[in-house]
Structure 1
Amino acid sequence: MFEQVMEGLRVVENGTYLDGTFGRGGHARGVLGRLGAGGRLLLMDKDPEAIAAAEREFGTDPRVSIRRGSFADLARWDAVRAGLDGILFDLGVSSPQLDVAERGFSFGKDGPLDMRMDPDAGESAAQWLARADEREIADVLWTYGEERMSRKIARAIVARRAQQPIERTADLAQLIASAMPRGKQDIHPATRSFQAIRIYVNRELADLETGLDAAYAALKPQGRLAVISFHSLEDRIVKRFIAARAKAPPANRRLPVAETFVPTLRAIGDAQKADTAEVASNPRSRSAVLRVAEKLEAAA
């Protein structure tokens, strides 16, 4: 959704922008190409491979600063404190992470069952599955994957690990498929479970909520926030975040009259999706949803 993001951010020549999910730099290149000599681009990512790619391509550009870490921690970066004209979060797992079997994100490629965006932080998926009880596993699969067979899959995982550790993506995918009822499947049986475990291991939704608050605080008036989500749980958080600051809550006749609502964000258009041409060239974009909001003067 390159063009939609560039239009949404409305890059100004001497502005300061943050790409909180660098990935491999597609959007960063677009922003940098629109900046003048006085502009600044701040790049963040949890993934050390993404940061290495950023250093190789942009490390010598005086307009660019690079920091390894989650966008949830953007407020700790001194470079952010002067205020930002635009912020981009491109959520979820990146294509390079999916395509490298050793990262353990894909049920279609056999590799170590890791799934961490930052391989130096927290538990791997294999470590979590080895210690979590059946109820916790089922709750994660239901809450973050909306997997209707969560309890049955959790029982199968606990039974299998009693015999041998589950340490490979192919083993987990096969185990999940064997626990699912036979019949027509629109998607691979392991899709929702892998998504749920990945979101949980990386604290993606908690980081998103913290990151949105930090982004709102860091934006200058008239600054733009652009967020690309890839599933309903993420998009719901973003939609509610914008709406809570852009629209007055519904009146309740049983409660005392509240103070006059003053909006501090303005939604820029409706949610946008990738067009047919982009989906044809990049099938992973078919579930992408872009929301853009602008900070208002009232928030200053």
Structure 2
Amino acid sequence: MQRVRYERDGKLFTEDVPAPEPAPGELLVRAEAIGVTLPTVRKVRAAAEPGPLGGEVAGRVVAVGEGVTGFSVGDRVTGLCFSHAYAELAVLQRTMTSRVPDRASAVEAVALVRSGLVARGAYEAGHPVPGDAVLVTAAASAVGCLALQYARAGGASRVVAAVSAAEKADLVRSLGADEVVLYTDASWGEPVDVVLDGVGGDLLGPAVRALAPGGRLVAFSSGGGTVDAYDLLVRSASVTGFHMARIARDEPVRYASWLADLWRRHADGALRAPVHAEFPLADAARAHWVIEERRNLGKVVLVP
């Protein structure tokens, strides 16, 4: 089978390797769509050694490992692969895998599931109440697009989208944003009650300063960064970290409830998961470039 790896300089390359075998608790899936994420792109640039490329995978089960229940060969599934996701065949952990409804395509699954769960979780972590003003950074990303819609559906009085370029304004407005600000703007407008930050790094400072008194910032990015404690103090504000893996691992009932609601909203047309582009597996480097250069409007997907 073919898979993509990377070298020390961040260069991606395609190689032919034997098909993997699922270990106990794992499923082997023939990939039909692979979601490209910002954490994976960052990992390639930061890594000192070659390694696997993890990510979201959707496709059909071709083998199940020992002890796996609830799934059979031929099932359509999506989930996270922590080893080699950029491949024709990928191994998924049973606990991080879910079924794909018949009505949905594999591309829709990788655009919706992980990003939608993160968006839902980050939004709830901000403890919003109807009437709150909500600002979303990386608003044109796959997670950001869905977070805007959760904020709108949750009764936000004002939804603000923070983006890297003015060309993204039309998309984020179509998903519920009342206002659009650029990261480089001197002011991000009137203060907000909740900030959902998917960027991190140098953007954390402006994100905290966008908070109203008593505001809450939810950090769910892999970008790190430092928050000035004084900026929190003078606003009586708080910062909360959100990590989806903890919910999947420690709160399976809640995780399943969110997942069912996600598909229900999508089926009703209440939740859109925009796809920026689909790339062949061999063109993974181009897909990474789109995300690195902040060109994407929604999800970037690899299709083996």
TM-score by length of 2: 0.36
The structure whose residues are more often helix, as a share, is 1
TM-score by length of 1: 0.36
Larger radius of gyration: 1
